[in-house]
Structure 1
Amino acid sequence: MSPALALALAGALVVLAVVAAIAIRVREGRRRAGGHLRFDPNDAGAVDLGARATLVQFSTETCSRCPQVRRLLSSYAADDDALVHVDIDLTRRPDLSARYRVLQTPTTFIVDATGAVRARFHGVPQPRALTEALAAV
């Protein structure tokens, strides 16, 4: 292989990696549909679901962004008595990551009073998107 071809190939790989990283960053924190998942309160130590909604945060001990999300969700729950914030540590419960299809932390679910997952966020939720998702519940 010629040096020019090798250099062009390496440059193309760098460009592809940058484009992929930008695409992932753009999608992070946005609202996604909850699908057909149902959250079981027993998975969080038999907590009572909120009258309006429950903010379920999946985190790990080594997650650097989880404390930021914990503060954000706790402030939402403190402002509204009908909201409950639950933090589940996947380090202690790795089985839940497969059950709820959690591939990264932090991941946040908005669960309605019946346990249906109405929305999910990967990464740090954008406040506007979180407010809109809560309004839709």
Structure 2
Amino acid sequence: MSPALALVIAGALIMLAVIVGVALRLADGHRRGGGHLRFDPVDAEGSLGSRATLVQFSTEMCARCPQVRRMLSSVASARDDLAHIEVDLTHRPDLSSRYRILQTPTTFIVDATGAVRARFNGVPHPNALTEALAGV
């Protein structure tokens, strides 16, 4: 292989990596639909809020999870009809496949019946979180 061809291939791989990285970064923290998932409060040993519940999936080694915990706790404490539940996937790895969790933190907004109404991968943007809660 010629040095020029190797340089072109290396440059193309670097560009591909940058494009994928930027795409993942832009998608981080944005609201996604919940699909047809239903959250079972028995999995978290907690109870659902009367209107909605903020379910945070985290791990012990997650660097951004404490930030999300503080944000979700403050949102839930400001309203009586909201609850905040944290599920540690370190101790319950079976839940990551059941709820299709690929990264932590991941946050679900669950209505009073357990239906997942919205999902956030990464740190939720406050405006998107407020909009999602208004829709429940």
Q: Which range, TM-score by smaller chain? A: over 0.9
Could you say which residue in structure 2 is the equivalent of 1:54?
Answer: 53
Could you say which residue in structure 1 is the equivalent of 2:14?
Answer: 14
Task: State the distance in 2 between where 1:88 and 1:97 align.
Answer: 10
Q: CA deviation at 1:108?
A: 0.3
Q: CA deviation at 1:93?
A: 0.3
Task: State the distance in 2 between where 1:101 and 1:12 align.
Answer: 32
**1:132 to 2:135 alignment:** no
Deviations 1:68-126 (A, max 9, x none): 00011001001111100000000000000011000110000000000000000000000
State percent identity of aligned pairs.
72
Q: CA deviation at 1:12?
A: 0.8
Could you say which residue in structure 1 is the equivalent of 2:117?
Answer: 118
Deviations 1:54-80 (A, max 9, x none): 000000000000000001100100111
> Structure 1, unaligned stretches of length 5 or more?
none
* Matched residue SS, 1:32: strand
Task: State the distance in 1 between where 2:76 and 2:131 align.
Answer: 15
Could you say which residue in structure 2 is the equivalent of 1:37?
Answer: 37
Q: CA deviation at 1:48?
A: 1.8
Task: State the distance in 1 between where 2:9 and 2:98 align.
Answer: 40
Q: CA deviation at 1:52?
A: 1.1
* Matched residue SS, 1:64: coil
Task: State the distance in 2 between where 1:49 and 1:57 align.
Answer: 13
Task: State the distance in 1 between where 2:96 and 2:53 align.
Answer: 18
Give the letter aligned to residue 121 of structure 2.
H
Task: State the distance in 1 between where 2:21 and 2:47 align.
Answer: 39
After the TM superposition, list the runs of 4 or more consecutive aligned residues in structure 1 that deviate by more than 3 angstroms: none
- Report the number of matched residues: 136
Q: CA deviation at 1:30?
A: 0.4
Task: State the distance in 1 between where 2:10 and 2:47 align.
Answer: 54
Task: State the distance in 2 between where 1:14 and 1:4 align.
Answer: 15
Could you say which residue in structure 1 is the equivalent of 2:103?
Answer: 104
**1:85 to 2:76 alignment:** no
> Structure 2, unaligned stretches of length 5 or more?
none
How large is the RMSD of aligned CA atoms in angstroms?
Answer: 0.5
The TM-score with structure 2 as length reference comes to: 0.99
